[in-house]
Chains A and B, each alone.
Chain A
Amino acid sequence: MTAKAPMNLRRLLIGSAVFRLALILYGEWQDAHMEVRYTDVDYLVFSDAASLMASGSSPYKRTTYRYSPLLAFLLLPNSVLHRSWGKFIFSASDLLVGYFIYKILKQRKVAEDLCLYSVMVWLLNPFTFTIGTRGNCEPIVCAMILWILICLMNGKIIQAAVWYGLVVHFRIYPIIYSLPIILVLNPRKSNAHRPSSQSGMEASTRYNLWTAAKSMFSKERVLFGLVSGGIFFLCTGLFFHLYQWEFLNEALLYHLTRADPRHNFSVYFYHIYLQYGRQLSLVEKLISFLPQSIVQLVLISTFAQDLPFCFFLQTVAFVAFNKVITAQYFVWFFCLLPLILPWSDMKLKWEGLGCVGLWMGAQLHWLLWGYLLEFKGQNVFLQLWMASLVFLLANASVMAVFIRLQRFSPIFLQIKVSDSKSGVKSQ
C-alpha cells in the first residue's frame, strides 16, 4: 500500500493540521493572558517531568507524574526548543490516527467517500482536536493501536508484537486486547468462518486433541506472546533499573490499584468515598471486578474475529466499568469508532443521533451536578452518583445498539490449509 493519498484526504489532513496549529497558538495566547489556562494540567506535569529528566533527575520527582519515562523523554525538547513541542507531537499523532483510519478502511475495500467520512468522524470531532492541542498524550496511544491493527492485517506479527509490548508499557489498558489478538492469530480454526464470495477456499482440518493443542499454541501466537511480553518486560526492567520503585509505583502499580474517592464519571466513586479507609472483604473486591470481567470475556468470545469492532466494544466497556473515568479516556474508543462505521446498519436519523444524544446528554447531566458540587459547594453527592449510574446505563445501551446493528466483518479470511504455510490472508 504505497500509493499516494488521494487529493481529498490530503486536503482534509492539511486543513486539520492548520486548524490544530491555530489552536496551539491560541492556547499559548490564552495561557499568557487569561487566568483559566487552555493547556491541560497534565501537560504541565509532563513538561516538568521532562525538565527534571533533562537535568539528570528522575521524572518521578514531579508529583502526579504517573507515566512511562518514555513520555518525558519524548518531551525533552520542551525545555530546549519550545514548551509547545509536546503539543505538536500529540497533534501530529492525532493526524496520523486520521491517516491510519483511512489506510485500514482502504485495505478493507471500503469506498472512498465512506473512508473520508469515517476519517472526518475522528479529525473533526471537537473532543479529538482539543485533546492533542491542549497537551494530552492519548493520541500517541491511539496511533500505536491503529498501527498494530495495520501490522496484524498485513501479517507483520513481529512488528505488531513490538508495538503492542510498547503500548502496554506506555498505557497498560491495551492489555485488554491481548486475548482477541491471540484468538485472531489462528490460521487453522476447526469451525472456520466461510465467506460466501470465496469459492473453493475451506478449512479442512481434522480435529483432534493434538490439533487443538497445536492450534492453541500456533507459531504466530507464541511469537506474538513472546515478543510483546519481552518488549514489555525489557522496558519495565530498564526503567526499574534507572528509577527503582518510584517508577514501578507511579507508572504501573498506581494504575492497577487506583481507587479514587473523588468524584468522576465512574459509578463506583461514591461507593469508594463512603468506604474509604475501610478494609474491603475479598467478596466485595471480587464483586467490583465481576461486571468488567464478564463483559470483556463475552465480547471477546463473540467478536474477536472482527478485531476493530471487538477493540471498540471492549474499550467502551472497559472505560464504562472502570473504577475511575476521566474524559480523556473517551478518546481511546473515539479512534476506533471510524473503523466500524462502514459496517454499521445504524442510520444517522434517528439511531445515530439518538446514541449521540443519549451519551452526550448523560455526560452533560453528570457535569451539571459536578459543577454544583465543585464550584457552588452544594452537597449533591447523591444526585451526582445517580448521574453516574445513568451514564453507565447510557454507555451500555449505546453498546447494545451498536451490537444489534453491526454487520460482522472478520478481519481475516480462512484459506485452504494445504495451500499456504501461514494460513492467514487479510480481508
Chain B
Amino acid sequence: MIERLPSGVFADPFELDHLLHHGAYAAIGVFGDTNLELPSVSSNRSAVEIHMNFKHNTSSGAMSELGIRIDLPLHARYAPLHESGYSEVAFGTPDLLVSCSMEGSSEKRSCLIVPSSDSNRLRTDVVVWKIPCGIMSYTNVVSVVTFATALVSTLVIVLPSVLYSKPR
C-alpha cells in the first residue's frame, strides 16, 4: 500500500522502524520530507509504502471475503494560522497493489491485482483531519501579554535581589 500523505501530515520513520521490529509490518519505508520538526509552511509532502503479508484459506471452495486493516501512525505538523482555529487536511485514496500466490494440488499460481480507482468498485469515504492551529487575530495580544508577563517576572526576581541584605 502506498499512502501519499497530504501537506501538513507526516510519518515518523523512527517510530515506524520500531513498529517494524515489533512485527507490525513486513516492510515499510517513508519517502519525501521526513523532517520531524518543521511546521507545515516550511515542509514538503511525503509518502509511505507499507508491505504486509496475509494468508487466506479458501480450501472450502466457497467464495469468501478477506478483510484487511492496516494501522499507520501519523503526526500533524504545526498548521498555518486560520481564524477558525482548525486547519483541515484531506487524505486521498491510497494506492493498493495485491500480489497473491495460490498453492493448489499440482501447481502454484500467482496473480497481481491493482484495484481500480473506479468509485463503484472502491468505496472510500473522504478522510479529513481537523488539526488545531493558531489564530492570527490573537497575534498582537499574545505578544504584548507575553512580554508584559516576562517583565513582571523579571521584577519579581530583581526586586528581592536588589533588596537582599548580605550579612556584614
Contacts and interface: CB of A to CB of B under 8 A. Distances in A.
Query: Do A and B make up one complex?
Result: yes
Nearest to B140: A274
Contacts of B36: 63-64
Nearest to B18: A37
A303 interface: yes
Interface residues of A, number: 53
Interface stretch (B59-67, B97-105, B114-122, B153-161): B153-161
A193 B35 CA distance: 55
A273 B153 contact: no
A421 B145 CA distance: 54
A395 B130 contact: no
B168 interface: yes
A277 interface: yes
B81 interface: yes
A377 B151 contact: no
> A interface, by DSSP: helix, strand, loop or mixed?
helix
B134 A270 contact: yes
Interface string B1-43: 0000000000000100011001000000000001111010110
Residue among B86, B132, B149, B150 facing the most chain A CB atoms (10 A cut-off): B150
Contacts of A407: 167
A213 B147 CA distance: 38
B161 A320 contact: no
A95 interface: no
A277 B38 CA distance: 12
A231 interface: no
B150 A291 contact: yes
A379 interface: yes
Given A44-B14, A261-B78, A396 B156 contact: yes
Given A262-B78, A373-B132, A381-B132, A63 B35 contact: yes
21 contacts: A271-B146, A273-B78, A276-B41, A288-B147, A288-B150, A295-B154, A298-B158, A298-B161, A299-B157, A302-B162, A302-B164, A303-B161, A321-B153, A377-B76, A377-B132, A378-B132, A379-B85, A380-B132, A381-B133, A382-B135, A393-B156
The 8 A-B pairs of least Cβ separation, nearest first, read A379-B132, A396-B153, A396-B156, A379-B85, A291-B150, A274-B139, A408-B166, A291-B154
Interface of A: 35, 37, 41, 44, 63-64, 193-194, 260-262, 267-268, 270-271, 273-277, 287-288, 291, 294-295, 298-299, 302-303, 313, 317, 320-321, 373, 377-382, 385, 389, 392-393, 395-397, 399-400, 403-404, 407-408
Given A273-B78, A276-B78, A400-B160, 6 more contacts: A44-B14, A274-B81, A274-B138, A303-B164, A381-B133, A381-B135
